[in-house]
Structure 1
């Protein structure tokens, strides 16, 4: 069930407010009532209603000014406002609409018409992402005067305008009452208890020191006292009102001064909001540029990784081609012999004469069969290796997969002794790239470091929930000062053009993706030892 719309009614007549509230609540609306525009603005500092219904004629600030205040604030700018007034005041509709109200309705209108108008206004979309915080602050006037009678008269005038008034009867009290929400200070230039010009100077100094942009209004000299008038302005006064001026003139000048000050405050807030928006826009653009740069970096990294894979594949293919070529050359060489011996047997006059040739042919066929079996074994290993390049995690047979990798590297390991020591369980759950890229890169690097002769040992251990694969060699090892850099991309100890510097970086990334760690130290054979440490949670 949707929440009932909330309506704020601004009406100074208790009888009319009660009647309107009854009609609206009977229709299911939630109603709040404020007797003055000032009280309504205070209510709007809290949770916003869905609509404001305001009388034009209100004590103090009227409905037209209330509407202007609502439209000036970013938090309430989109809040619907319906203005009510007497039917005979036809010109007020124009004034109300010009002040920013959404609709005008005479109080004599039919109830159904009024409800239809309300519902139409409530159908309008509300502003999204409205600013939070205090929407309105009534103008605060500090009234500094040593005369209680004068303070009472001036306060009455200021209260009628809806201002928040703070009184001070001494110079010290006036200075101490200043804060960041003070909008205006009103003081006489001729006071029995203090020097008005000196107080104006003190207030102006405080204004500059504290950074509070309040206005100073001095009551005193008029146009017929030019010297005194100039002195008041020089002391820091923003406006000077003649002592004998009428109340209307005092209010008009004060109203204009405060309106200017509040508009300046609003402009500063708008500039700050624009600056924040510009900063947010710059940040968004910077983030977009960063994301684009990251995408380019990832693409370049993927290309480099692919290049490293292709380089390894090229080296592997060269070795495999050599392994296939040897038995193939042997088979082709024996083929001619077999064909010659079969021809002699066919030309023999009898079986006894053909016997020796057939026996030799049979021996050659057995040798050819051994070469074909060697090629067949190599092809099977290639098929196993191709399956190891699958990305999905699965249950791996570690010893069998390592043997496949070693078989494919056999040309490179021709004169190198390879030892196996598989002490851990055979099964490990993980990505096949663990045994494809990681083990092959490390063993291939070890073979390069040995220079053709030496010992490589591949061992597995399992203890304390960890599965370890160790690859050691009897080569020169990795100097301690290089061990922290050896897994960095593009770092290589090989001659220029002999390596990409990405093999161990790829191995590092694969192991980290398995929540594991890879390290290098000095091994038991005197050379390097690479340790791949993995969680054994998936091991069986």
Structure 2
């Protein structure tokens, strides 16, 4: 009968993707070390589900699979803890086990330490044994426990790495779909703008022609941004460009692109930028555009005329950028949550809520940090710290 604990254990084992895989070199290294420290010829990492014992790494013999009923480690996993048995023939738990009686092997000395996941689920053991009677001193016993912990740490690292890889794949697919959805109307918009600009009527309407030219320029910038951000997402956000960024020019482009919402809200956007940080110009512009757009949007939604101040100054080892607003602010308890994918501070405001999550991803790819604080203007301060690669190298 399969118990609830068996199901929980099986789910925990499935998350590690170790069953049926070739022995990993790092796990093989641990079993070799365990055998050496404990002074035996054989050591093994056993993963035990509701049916079988899977030897995923071993020294002294070839790893294999046996039934749970034949497993010595399965007899002790129900009560996880270190087990030391000098002579298995004299222990009632093992005296009739086929690994002891000679049906499969002639185990005499047996010792094991449980593999317990961070959630507290015992999924197997790190086991050492020999065909002669033996024992472990206290230092060897502690080493066996420590190595069992290392096995779980390695399994966790592999699980997390796999999850991150899957997350990057999902982000790439998401970015590809979003870019496709954005490019369709953008292509149509650019076509209409070109037709309007080339129209003979524009010769008699210079102001309209100027506005249309600005709109076409904004469309071109948006197309370039979509391409760059898609490329960034496809490589997992691991390697942004590094160049000196004219942050003043970037902010000018941001204000141009946000002209409609700035004009509609009467927002007052001011900047005090004294530096040219190192980074990816397109990605940093996307971050600033997102943050400034949020400041305008959420402040206007609160019934206020938005005031936004963007400052950038040198600090020790890099640069600090701040964007302040006079909006409703974000409570301290929510300041980390709003960086989660699909979260936003005000459920009534428009938008997908993916902006700050993407901003953090971009800043972390630059080796920096981003967070929220109280603003001297009364609303939210978004702060960004970017490292200077030259200072780090020095």
User: TM-score, length-normalised on structure 1?
Assistant: 0.38
TM-score (norm 2): 0.50
Larger RCO: Structure 1 or Structure 2 (Cα < 8 Å, ≥ 6 residues apart)? Answer: 2
* Bigger Cα Rg: 1
